Amino acid sequence: MKKGTINVQTENIFPIIKKFLYSDHEIFLRELVSNAVDATQKLKALAAMGKVKDELGDLTIQVVVDKDAKTIKVIDRGVGMTADEVEKYIAQIAFSGAEEFVKKYKNKSAEERANLIGHFGLGFYSSFMVSDRVEIFTKTYKKGGQTKAVHWECDGSPEYILEETDKSDRGTEVVLHINDDSLDYLENSKIEQLLNKYCRFLPVPVQFGMKTESVKTGEKDKDGNDKYETVEVPNIINNTNPIWLRKPSELKDEDYKKFYRELYPMVFEEPLFHIHLNVDYPFKLTGILYFPKIQQNVEVRKDKIQLYSNQVFITDNVEGVVPDFLTLLHGVLDSPDIPLNVSRSYLQSDSNVKKISNHILKKVADKLAQLFKKDRAGFEKKWDDIKVFIEYGIISEEKFYEKAKNFTLLKNVDGKYFTFDEYESLIEENQTDKDKKLVYLYTTDAEKQYPYIEKAKSKGYDVLLMDGVIDSHFVNHLEQKFENARFVRVDADVISKLIQKEETAESKLKEETKEALKKLFSKFLSPEFTVVFEVMDEQEMPATITETEFMRRMRDMSMLGGGMNMMGALPDSYNFVVNENHPLIVKLNEEKDEKLKEELASRIVYSAKLMKDMLKGEELTKFVNTYVESLTK
């Protein structure tokens, strides 16, 4: 038996490791199983080169929990280690990495500390977060010489024991003696949960205990049906050959749907379509991204893409690895060019990661363009479900806009779809104002704004449906992108004023009578209304309520931002627009009976409010009662 001391200057480094190194203790299992996978993969590689003469046999990695003994074991049949290798890789390299880590990062933030494990070879020492004592039993694959099995033991101090031991098989067994603060890791359900999270796609089988399965006995019952019996079989946690590693030509659409159900067993709607990524140069990247259906009234989750490095789970927070708008997608990305343990700031600054992000953006844009070109009708059917991705991408990524502008669709209230160029051609002749600007009319609520939509359509104008969750931002963005164009909500102003090209008829009201009518209407309007007069066609409504496009957009943006903005709460501000030439307004102006005149003015006000969906409470009751009385008379 040999006793040794790890040559470190930092006094009793283990408490520092436990306190500072890992924000998430559970990753000890990921690190130990990953080490076991590495040892197994090295053995396979050596065997392929003819350097291992023995039969490899079963290479399944075992994870064993003994609640009574308070131990967790991770057992592999990989390359194993000699006594010299244990001293080198466990007692020297890894621990010097720990010391370097403490010196460099002791005063850094928790996130920076927790995500730099891989940079210092500290994976094995994560076991001391949950253990009072750790043992290693290992035997190398090598033959002859100093190749006896060895036992290494350490209790969390710089001292360790290294001695020969009996072990018949090659490979390594790591035994964790769990401390009293971490006894929940001795629950089978907890360990299985962690294995499913971190190890579900590792390239070497990982077994955790046994499970029962029904299998055919080979016999038939009296009705000729197969007989089954319940047997115990190894509980293999992982799928060692996930479909993202296979060639797309080998796969069918059902294979992708099946894998989606494997990834998200609690998501019941199938994805709209998928993108299979397979890049070898200038970086290596594989993966599958799915476009899910997104409900507009449901908050979108951004933690559905899982990031792997050589099939080892890293994180489901992929901000910085994929463009922000694509974090709405589901799926898997796997790249050995992304280290296992990285900080978010590292992801955002690493040149390889930036290349990967740009490539994913390009692949998604190319796939959408291909779908649009190949089957436009099918693309239109999917549009309402995918438009939030595309609009978000256009708003947030200039590179994406340049590609997406050719397949992005605008939908009108009649359910017809147009590309940007097609829609410009549609409205160019009829919806160009006197300043030579194209006027894009739109509605955010086809039911509430129905009267305004119908009025616009009666004049031959087309109205876009922009009722999506981010359409208010999208409208602002398009207005900046399109030359000589403006977007106006259909109820924002009087239609005839909006797109007038010639002067309308003269007013039938004199200036002095307008002032009297303004005072009359103001009796039935609250202070946020301003009475204005417009010369319009007789066929227009006698009065209309409008809100300036600018003020309404500012209020919408304020509400999207949580109801606050830099200027505080924006006040309501509406125009009560009186049609100077409407016969009812002319009649009101000429009416001598003051009581009848007030009654008529109130009905005009209430009618305008009703059309704007602003008639509520007492005013609505009065209006209905008056209407019923008129029917009775």
Check residue 580 and give its pLDDT.
Answer: 85
CB count, 10 Å around CB of 528? 10
Are 323 and 361 in contact by the 8 Å Cβ rule? The answer is yes
535 and 443 within one domain: no
The H-or-E segment that residue 382 falls in is helix 376-396
The pLDDT of 364-387, averaged and rounded, is 93
623 and 481 within one domain: no
pLDDT-derived band at 9, boundaries 50, 70, 90: very low
Check residue 321 and give its pLDDT.
Answer: 78
Q: Which among 152, 101, 151, 161 has a CA at the least distance from the CA of 126?
A: 101
Quick check: is 195 in a domain? yes
Quick check: is 254 in a domain? yes
Alpha-carbon span 5 to 128, nearest angstrom: 17
> Which of 117-121, 376-380, 455-459, 595-599 is predicted with the least confidence, judged by mean pLDDT?
117-121
252 and 198 within one domain: no
Are 572 and 528 in contact by the 8 Å Cβ rule? The answer is yes
Q: Is 121 left (phi over 0), alpha (psi -120 to 50) or beta?
A: left
Quick check: is 235 in a domain? no
Burial of 249: CB neighbours in 10 Å, binned 0-12, 13-18, 19+:
exposed
111 and 42 within one domain: yes
Are 76 and 36 in contact by the 8 Å Cβ rule? The answer is yes
Q: How is residue 59 written in tokens? A: 């290479």
> What would the pLDDT profile of 609-624 be if each residue is shown by its tens digit?
888 888 888 877 877 7
Check residue 298 and give its pLDDT.
Answer: 44
Check residue 302 and give its pLDDT.
Answer: 59
Are 290 and 331 in contact by the 8 Å Cβ rule? The answer is yes
Quick check: is 330 in a domain? yes
334 and 254 within one domain: yes
301 and 174 within one domain: no
135 and 18 within one domain: yes
381 Cβ contact partners less than 8 Å away, ≥ 6 residues apart: none
Q: State the chain's mean pLDDT as an integer.
A: 83
Check residue 504 and give its pLDDT.
Answer: 54
Are 350 and 339 in contact by the 8 Å Cβ rule? The answer is no
Domain containing 419 — which CATH number? 3.40.50.11260
Q: Which of 379, 396, 427 is the last residue of a domain?
A: 379
- Could you give the C-alpha distances from 161 to 33, 87, 552, in angstroms and in order? 23, 10, 75
pLDDT-derived band at 140, boundaries 50, 70, 90: very high
366 and 275 within one domain: yes
Higher-pLDDT residue of 187 and 282 is 187
CB count, 10 Å around CB of 621? 11
Alpha-carbon span 223 to 157, nearest angstrom: 68
CB count, 10 Å around CB of 229? 10
Residue 343: pLDDT over 60: no
Domain containing 333 — which CATH number? 3.30.230.80
Check residue 120 and give its pLDDT.
Answer: 40
Quick check: is 287 in a domain? yes
Are 124 and 78 in contact by the 8 Å Cβ rule? The answer is no
> Which of 28-37, 227-236, 291-300 is predicted with the least confidence, judged by mean pLDDT?
291-300
362 and 463 within one domain: no
429 and 371 within one domain: no
Quick check: is 142 in a domain? yes
Quick check: is 554 in a domain? no
Q: Which among 379, 377, 333, 381 has a CA at the least distance from the CA of 357?
A: 333
490 and 515 within one domain: no
Residue 111: pLDDT over 50: no
Which residue is it, tokens 């051609």?
A: 425
Q: Is 50 left (phi over 0), alpha (psi -120 to 50) or beta?
A: left
> What would the pLDDT profile of 162-210 be if each residue is shown by its tens digit?
999 999 899 999 999 999 989 999 999 999 999 999 999 999 999 999 9
Domain containing 537 — which CATH number? 1.20.120.790
Residue 23: pLDDT over 70: no
Burial of 632: CB neighbours in 10 Å, binned 0-12, 13-18, 19+:
exposed
Give how many domains the chain has, as a whole number.
Answer: 4
- Domain extent at residue 520: 511-548+568-628
107 and 132 within one domain: yes
- Work out whether the CA dihedral 138, 143, 144, 146 comes out positive or negative: negative
Quick check: is 233 in a domain? no
Alpha-carbon span 303 to 203, nearest angstrom: 24
What residues does 546 pair with on adjacent strands?
Answer: 575
Burial track 188-209 (b if 16+ CB lie within 10 A, e otherwise): eeebbebbeebbbbbbbbbbbe
- Assess whether the previous peptide bond of 339 is cis (omega < 30° from 0): no
